Amino acid sequence: MPVQLSVGLPVLTINHGSTFMVTDLNGEIAAHSEQGVFAEDTRFVSYYALTANGQPWTRLTSAATNYYSALVYLSNPELATEEGIVPAGTVVLTLARGAGEGIHEDLDLVNHGLTSVRFNLEITLRSDFADLFEVKDHRFVRRGRIVSEWDPEHQQLRTSYRNGEFTRGLAYTVDHSGAPPSYANGQLTFDIQLAPGERWHTCADYMLARGPDHPTPIRPCFQLPQTTEYDVLQQAWLARATTLTSTNEDVGRLYRQSVEDMGALRLHDHDFAADVWLPAAGVPWFVTIFGRDSLLVSLQNASVYPRFALGTLQKLAELQATETDDWRDAQPGKMPHEIRYGELAYLKRVPHTPYYGTADATPLYLITLHEAWKWLGDPSLLRRYREVALRCLQWIEEYGDLDGDGFQEYRTRSAQGYQNMGWKDAGDAVVYPDGTQVPQPKALCELQGYVFDAWLRMAEVFEVLDEPERAARLRQQAAGLQQRFEEQFWCEDMGFYAFGLDPNKVPIHTVASNPGHLLWSGLVRPDRAARVVERLRQTDMWSGWGIRTLSAQNPAYNPTSYQCGSVWPHDNGLIALGFKRYGFAAEAAEVARDVIEAATYFTSYRLPELYAGIERRPGTYPVQYLGANVPQAWAAGSVFHLLQALLGLRADAPKGLLYVDPELPPWLPDVQLRGLSVGGAKVDLQVWREGERSVWDATIREGTLKVEQQAWQPWAVDGTHR
């Protein structure tokens, strides 16, 4: 039997809505770490330890049993007591936790010894109420005052924080205890006495106050399982989503985990309806609303459940900027990047209220609106967001193009603004060939592709809205952009497109993954596509676990960095779609194979936000990036894009059509999609290999739909050939 490897961070993470808890594998929260209990960008618990007579327990095993619960089995060390020595392993402590509007935990002890035991079970718990940004950066500034008090009558430890009008509080309440605790020196102590075979139980609620109330956690005792309204919503999501089966079990497991994670990241506070919602970007650092992330995740989920996009479209429309605000990098019509609710945002020490430092969310909104219409077939969607779309188009022309040269550039105006405003938004992500940083303003190549795609998609939208003159103008703008782009961004010496243009409009001759997005957008001139594909497949870019963000030949390359040589699954998903669009199906399948095989090494088939770009060799495995979010929405959704590329799926619900163009590789001999929604219809699609050919069959389960085989093609200058 081969050795089964499982790569992942040495932590337990559970989450529900905006609440999440990160502990070590013992279920404890280490001091001076990034662990804790969090909600709405505040850490409510910064330290948690379990001891027996002051000695740490020994972990037997631990695991997250699903996205909102974790189970830890511990045993006692050797204990010296007044009654004698308690041998190690005599008592087993089971720690069970569930997240939901706070945290509920159960502690259960069993004496497996032949004699009675007596010892102190101690829980040490502290709160720092640090802002999430401070936790991530390991830079803490004490601004307010923390007060703790023990209420013996209600067996409740209350800790409160106040800084002016900003208040947060934690109430840790013990209940159903076999022995009431005492409290001293920041520690709860239970006097435990157990006869042979005797059991002891207590439970506790972490009630997290963001105002005057301490809401009770929704999860009951672990011994009393109960289906909550949120479980019903998760079950409904799983029932609605397209299901996948395949004889390649790895693909099936990855797909099912990704669907599960999409629901696990649901931000319940921002639900518009039972089936209109949006996910957080990722746990632990991005449990909030994002512009770019939410839009790309909506695009990824089109073939899983096309109504997924509705929550994103609605929420971002509500947050679309209406005025200029330099502190927040806001301009009329611009879509937000990120919103935060912690102390630093409340005090306006950070501009995330929301912050608008993204150059790509605005065109991506238009792309998502069009794609949602293509899958849903509902023209009222276009009418509902017509004004929002017009404001996006106006921003692209008036503010996205800083100097009127016809290209999209970005430059922050905020004292705390981002140096980089594309999807690679790390401060060191955009570099020259010598590895030095490119200063602002910058015109990244993929921004031009997004705008090109958005203009042509919107031309189709305005034709439907009976505005042919506006549609014609958008097509004319797109044609002009395509010509200018080829003239200025193509680098013949590299056989590749420039990473971007620097402040002097000089092409940045850096080889990076960004031009792969141009293939997805359909901007690349068809006769140059093969050279782009081939350059991305060279060994300095192709790690064997996916395409790197930056060439290994660049002096700034670091395979374990955030965006200077790492591998991002969502990036590879978009590139695979681009390969397929230009007819490079075998190359798209290679990208899919690498990322899917990487997923098999990660715990529970959960693809992390990113992983290291270290070269794949026999006997190796993908290397974890320590700061990666897991689960992370667009990492989970990357498998949907990879499968869309392999199957050639495109919807045209307004015309009652689903296009397929499958080319399955040998490692994926068959795929069955059930309940695929297009407009008001549902279809089951079976695809399998016969020799070297891929054949398919479709069964319409509901409604009326025609399924046709047709290849996806790049945009023509006149906006046709999708």
184-197 pLDDT tens trace: 988 999 999 999 99
Phi, psi of 530 (to 5 degrees): -60, -35
User: Quick check: 312 and 325 in contact, CB under 8 A?
Assistant: no
Chain center to CA of 362: 19
Instruction: Judge whether residue 346 has pLDDT over 70.
Output: yes
Per-residue pLDDT averaged across 573-599, rounded? 98
DSSP per residue, 332-372: TTPPPSB---SHHHHTTSSS-SSB---SSHHHHHHHHHHHH
266-290 pLDDT tens trace: 999 899 998 999 999 999 999 999 9
Instruction: Judge whether residue 341 has pLDDT over 80.
Output: yes
Question: What's residue 218's pLDDT?
Answer: 85
Question: What's residue 142's pLDDT?
Answer: 82
Six-digit token pair at 59? 């972990």
Instruction: Judge whether residue 85 has pLDDT over 70.
Output: yes
Question: What's residue 269's pLDDT?
Answer: 87
Residue 2's pLDDT band (boundaries 50, 70, 90)?
very low
114-163 pLDDT tens trace: 999 999 999 999 999 999 999 999 988 888 999 999 999 999 999 999 99
Question: What's residue 1's pLDDT?
Answer: 35
Residue 365's pLDDT band (boundaries 50, 70, 90)?
very high
User: Quick check: 18 and 269 in contact, CB under 8 A?
Assistant: yes
86-114 pLDDT tens trace: 999 999 999 999 999 999 999 999 999 99
Instruction: Please give the Cα distance from 96 to 84 (Å, whole number).
Output: 30
Chain-wide mean pLDDT for the chain? 95
Instruction: Judge whether residue 319 has pLDDT over 90.
Output: yes
Instruction: Judge whether residue 716 has pLDDT over 50.
Output: yes
Instruction: Please give the Cα distance from 501 to 516 (Å, whole number).
Output: 17
Question: What's residue 225's pLDDT?
Answer: 66
Instruction: Judge whether residue 3 has pLDDT over 90.
Output: no
Residue 718's pLDDT band (boundaries 50, 70, 90)?
low
Q: What percent of the chain has pLDDT over 70?
A: 98
397-446 pLDDT tens trace: 999 999 999 999 999 999 999 999 999 999 999 999 999 999 999 999 99
Instruction: Judge whether residue 528 has pLDDT over 80.
Output: yes
> SS3 of 99, please?
strand
Instruction: List Cβ neighbours of 564 (8 Å cut-off, separation of 6 or more).
Output: 426, 428, 429, 431, 549, 550, 554, 556, 557, 558
Per-residue pLDDT averaged across 225-251, rounded? 93
50-66 pLDDT tens trace: 999 999 999 999 999 99
- Domains, the chain, ordered by start: 11-226 (2.70.98.40), 232-651 (1.50.10.10), 652-709 (no CATH)
Chain center to CA of 714: 28
